[in-house]
Structure 1
Amino acid sequence: MRSGLRLKTPSAGGLPSESLEYGYNELSVPMTLNGATGYVQNTGYTKLSDIKQITLGVSPSDTAKWLQISNTPSSRPPLQPSNLWRITKGGM
């Protein structure tokens, strides 16, 4: 796991400002999100790069709470010809 993007949010609504840091795997896919406490401890992906599970918690030793996400072929957005062109041309 490697560190990546760091952001600082402004204070708002009575909440203090906070620094957020995203963690990425070796393929530069976002895996974690940490701030004043942990938010996302791990993210699982399908072979098609869809998010399939997000593990939430304050720390890795915290009792994990997770969201299971299931995509069926009918719920995936269709691949538009314009997007296909961008992918094959190396754009996007």
Structure 2
Amino acid sequence: MTNVIIFVVCLTIGLIVARLITKKSVQTKSSNYKIYSNSPLFHSDYYPINVEVNRQLYQPVAEWSGRLILPPENNHERFVEFEVQNAPKFTYAPYW
């Protein structure tokens, strides 16, 4: 009978120790909004104002390109602003 009690006690202690060793610390994952809003790349003051791009060195990736401007975190509207940085030259086409 004592062997059974010793076995149960050892098994219980072993399970408790195993649980404590494998217990992972709880870390809260940052939201994508916080990750991107903390990056200076997504703030307008990171970019210089009124800088002309050397067209021989830079080729745009698309006819229209720009950057997304995230709204404040507490704004729950379902849109973002888009700042146009490259666009085709405007040509007037009459509307018939």
Larger Rg: 2
Greater strand fraction, Structure 1 or Structure 2? 1
Q: TM-score range by the shorter chain?
A: under 0.3
TM-score, normalised on structure 2? 0.21
Greater helix fraction, Structure 1 or Structure 2? 2
Instruction: Between the two structures, name the one with larger relative contact order (CA 8 Å, sep ≥ 6).
Output: 2
